Structure 1
């Protein structure tokens, strides 16, 4: 009896031990397999999607860690967590330390990676020396800019015009005929900026070389044609009158009997400045709209720095003659009928020399200027259509009705 009772438990114990051993082996194997797959998949897990308590990783940007260490092993990741603790700045994040990048959203587009203190977003046409100290380069910093689009055949006229502009003006000549070296016969040519691309218009040049950030140093920008008589014009006196009357966009008055198209630009002998006029019946839908007000022509336009920044953006890259711009300039200042005007006391003569027209191409028996004039008219229509479509789309997107005041 005793042997029997003692044998049963012994046999039962010998049976259970192999089962437990097998269970332990299976459990261990499953655990190894699970651990392997967990280890392989762990780097792809998103730390930012795990609801980890903030006390576990204080002051640590998990998004930053995930991006920087996504390809590392678990060990390295844990080491990175501990090493980064305390290194991260608790500031807004505009600056990152050590091997991380700077990102400053308030910098000009494209310069966000630079520290703000090194950013120079604006420029000028000031000529610099190749020697000495930069702050000693300039004996005077011109406040104004004047540009002429020229051909060498008009050299005498341009020489006379430039002599009317003081040393307070930077001079830029855009050469549409490719002839630049001949201008060296004039002393002032040595301090002028010469840009030469053949058979282009002044608005083509303006769009490419007069970006607002490039001409930001100048209070006023004169963008003039080459066929202007300036016997009765003084640049400094003109600026004084523009400032006095608060004009953001202006032009000198035109001598009444020469090259006159619009009554608005006709010089008045009894005033310093005028800002409105009377035109032919039916030409003005509103006395505050072009061509009765808020209007100057594009032959001898003068822009303030702020007005030019707007106008430059309005100039179409592919429409080179500028026809139609004069009717749209009012969109860049407010109120336009008060800030756009004609300076009567400083007046010019439009000589109407069709020099640029002769740069066209003769075609089908037509003279070169005919094709140029045809494109001018076509561009005017295209510009009007683009402006109307853009404004309509804007007001529709805003869910409001467009205003009823439209110019011719």
Structure 2
């Protein structure tokens, strides 16, 4: 009788165990992988899923999840490489800054003068809108420059397609300049010294107030090294800390820190190629904008006012400005609504 009673108890326990396991299994129908936490270095942890023969690394960039983390290179650069020898010995120097000009051959003389204001600590990148890139080879510095030649495109069209943040991540500062800038009173190294001294994430040189049309904010002042605010015409500024009275530089000759450019690049619209309206929105990419955006007076430039757009193009510029403002307002509303619902 004792043995019979123990057998019954064992049978009942087994049945209950099977039933319990069945319900637990039903509660986790999608559990089909094993997660391990690997520590490849002292500073990072890589989460990996092993599902069948596939290794899925969540910390890798999108599209590279199937690669081992140690082989993933998320950034690139414009440094020129040799075709022979040891790759590790290719670079004798690593420029810390990037300067780009969008150019036509007719402005070669002016661009030549401008480029010579930048030392070998700068990578030179020319965007050729007239297709005449090979004709620049007569200039000595042109041999170490990067040339991108695509006809009839604008500075911001090139910037969106060739200055992705992961491409220019090697550079501390990125200059995105027009071709018609006079640089007789400009020194790039001294300019960056002042940018760092005053903590500017987005900046531009002051513009000669006696040449061409320019906003009050970007006019050069003779009594300061840097200024970050101004007084505009009545009705232009709803807030003294907002554009165009502060947190404002123009799209003619802006200079961005690496971090600021990563944000600005994402704000550039793929189809709005003239960039009108961007300068009023630069402040969204740094905080506080009225302290980190400024004009460097001690190193200043001249706007040579070379005619480059006709009435039809100007009409397109104005249209793009209004479209950009509308998209920004719509994005703000959607964000506010989403935050409120959340």
TM-score after normalising by structure 1: 0.73
1:291–1:327: 8 Å Cα contact kept in structure 2? yes
Is residue 154 of structure 1 aligned with residue 107 of structure 2?
yes
SS at match of 2:22: coil
Give the distance between the partners of 2:35 and 2:278, measured in 1 at CA.
51
In the alignment, structure 1 residue 271 sits paired with structure 2 residue 219: no
Answer yes or no: is 1:164 the counterpart of 2:117.
Answer: yes
Q: Which has the higher contact order (CA 8 A, sep 6+)?
A: 2
Which whole-Å CA distance do the structure 2 matches of 1:119 and 1:89 have between them? 21
Q: Which consecutive residues of structure 1, in runs of 5 or more, have no partner in the other structure?
A: 1-48, 55-60, 65-87, 358-368, 401-408
Matches within 5 A, 1:376-387: 376-387=317-328
Q: 1:372 to 1:91 in 2, by over 3 A?
A: closer
Counterparts of 1:301-380 in structure 2, within 5 Å, are 301-355=254-308, 357=309, 369-380=310-321
- CA change 1:91–1:105 in 2 (3 A) is closer
* Cα contact 1:175–1:197 (8 A) shared by 2: yes
**Residue 32 (structure 2) pairs with residue 63 (structure 1):** yes
SS class of match (1:157): helix
The equivalent of 1:244 in structure 2 is 197
Relative distance call for 1:53 and 1:231 in structure 2 (3 A) is closer
User: What secondary structure, in the 3-state scheme, does the structure 2 residue paired with 1:389 have?
Assistant: helix
Please report how far the alpha carbon of residue 96 of structure 1 lies from its aligned counterpart in structure 2 after TM superposition.
Answer: 3.7
Structure number, greater radius of gyration:
1
Note closer, same or farther for the CA distance 1:281–1:190 as it changes in structure 2 (3 Å cut).
Answer: same
Find the counterpart in structure 2 of residue 133 from structure 1.
86
Do the aligned residues in 2 keep the contact of 1:207 with 1:315 (CA within 8 Å)?
A: yes
Tell me, what secondary structure is at the counterpart of 2:142? helix
Deviation at 1:354, TM superposition (A): 1.9
Asked if 1:187 is matched to 2:158, the reply is no
Aligned length: 310
Cα deviation, 1:115-169, whole Å, max 9, x if unaligned, reads 1111100011000000111121111100000000000000000000000000000
Deviation at 1:260, TM superposition (A): 3.0
Matches of 2:277 and 2:24, distance apart in 1? 64
Q: How many Å apart are 1:63 and its aligned residue?
A: 2.1
Would you identify which runs of 4 or more consecutive aligned residues in structure 1 move more than 4 Å?
A: 88-93
1:191-242 deviation digits (Å, cap 9, x = unpaired): 1000011000000000000000000000000000000000110111111100
CA contact (8 A) 1:307 1:333 kept: yes
1:199 matched to which residue of 2?
Answer: 152
Is the counterpart of residue 94 in structure 1 residue 48 in structure 2?
yes
**Aligned residue in 2 for 1:395:** 336
Q: In the TM superposition, what are the counterparts of 1:269-308 in structure 2 within 5 Å?
A: 269-308=222-261
Aligned to 1:30: none
Task: Write 1 or 2 for the structure with the bigger share of helix.
Answer: 1
Q: CA contact under 8 A between 1:333 and 1:339: conserved in structure 2?
A: yes
Q: Which runs of 5+ in 2 are unaligned?
A: 1-19, 39-46
Determine the C-alpha separation between the residues in 2 that align with 1:213 and 1:50: 50
